[in-house]
Chain A
Amino acid sequence: MPPHFFDPISIIPEIIYTLVISLICLMIFLKTKDAYNLTKHKGIMYFRDAFLLLGLAYIMRLIFGIVNFSTSLFQIWIPRNIIFPSILLILSYLSTTGIIYLIYSSIWKKVQNHNVLLIGHLIAIIVAVISFYTRSHELLIGLQIILLIILVLGNMFSNKKKKIFSQAKILHILIAVFWLMNLWLIIPKSMFYNLEVKMILQIISIGVFTFIYYRVLKWLK
């Protein structure tokens, strides 16, 4: 079977997509700065930090894809033994912490244990170390899916009085789900990879992020 060749043209929409998402995340982070400085409200802090972490995670995702791409097509020497797992380590930590912070921003008041965030960071480090040693982004996705399910179920059971899936929580879950899908589709050799599906997912995820930014802007011009 001939080797799979990565289409270099598909990297351009990938770069554009990453820049758009990272820019939106950065703008959400900056727009909420004043509100946080005035109130020192923890929920606002976790919300901001989540988007900063996810923005950085998307950039690392792009670098991860480029490193993978450049070793299969160009004759550029990259010390893969060091760079590839290192990028995966950083990517894992940033994205796992980002997801945890995002979900935690809406449940922190109900959780009375102050060590929860510390535990969250420990989980993110463990996931990052596992990804580093296994060099597998598919395993990272699997671990993050399990984490997301646990967080969502935990939120459902702790929230008996209010609506289980409010608009805000649905948006948070969608962001996490789109992150997982985009991480899966960064490598063309991934199973079920389909360029058209990928572009549709990316357009929808830009829509979700833009919608969140628009809602932030509505209150915090």
Chain B
Amino acid sequence: MSTTAIKIDDPTVFHLEEEPHHEEGSSTMLGFWLYLMSDCLIFAMLFAVFGVLGGNYAAGPGPKELFDLNLVAVNTAMLLFSSITYGFAMLAMDKDNRPQTLIWLAITGLFGLAFLGIELYEFGHLIHEGATPQRSAFLSSFFTLVGTHGLHVTFGIVWLVTLMVQVGLKGLIPANKRRLMCLSMFWHFLDVIWIGVFTFVYLLGMLR
């Protein structure tokens, strides 16, 4: 009796009876992918705004006076390292190796924090030099675009820590694996957006 009660309560039972080849959570991945695509549209709009306003310095400082490419290169490396370490976490998850998964997730989080720290240092440096978001349309759109990306990374780290606690408490259960896979997509997606940022904002900014 108890098993039938559980089966009735469990929505996946109905799902499996209708479509035996579908595994639980496959629709979650598609749904999360659609969220990422809509997030991509947000960033596309911010890139368009930066593309339109990026040359309006209002007689203020331009990219050449403000940006330090060495710092951006280090930042890019941090995000790239965090991407590969997250990949290693996923590989450890595939092997159901909980300690290794947690270690790689922690390293990913540290790289993410390093990225945020460098970005905040850069922002602080700019604001200290008087290059605030209010200074010119170029700086407004710069802070909006790069700041939105930084905010995404911040939430990614909060999510990462949450999942580390979840995995620590409940182990690598299917639900946690699914969540880790969603965060994996989110994290790699942020790295893809960063490619656009360092190319169009920093590198092409230096060539303007």
Are A and B co-members of a single complex?
Answer: no
Chain A contacts to B: CB under 8 angstroms = none
Chain B contacts to A: CB under 8 angstroms = none
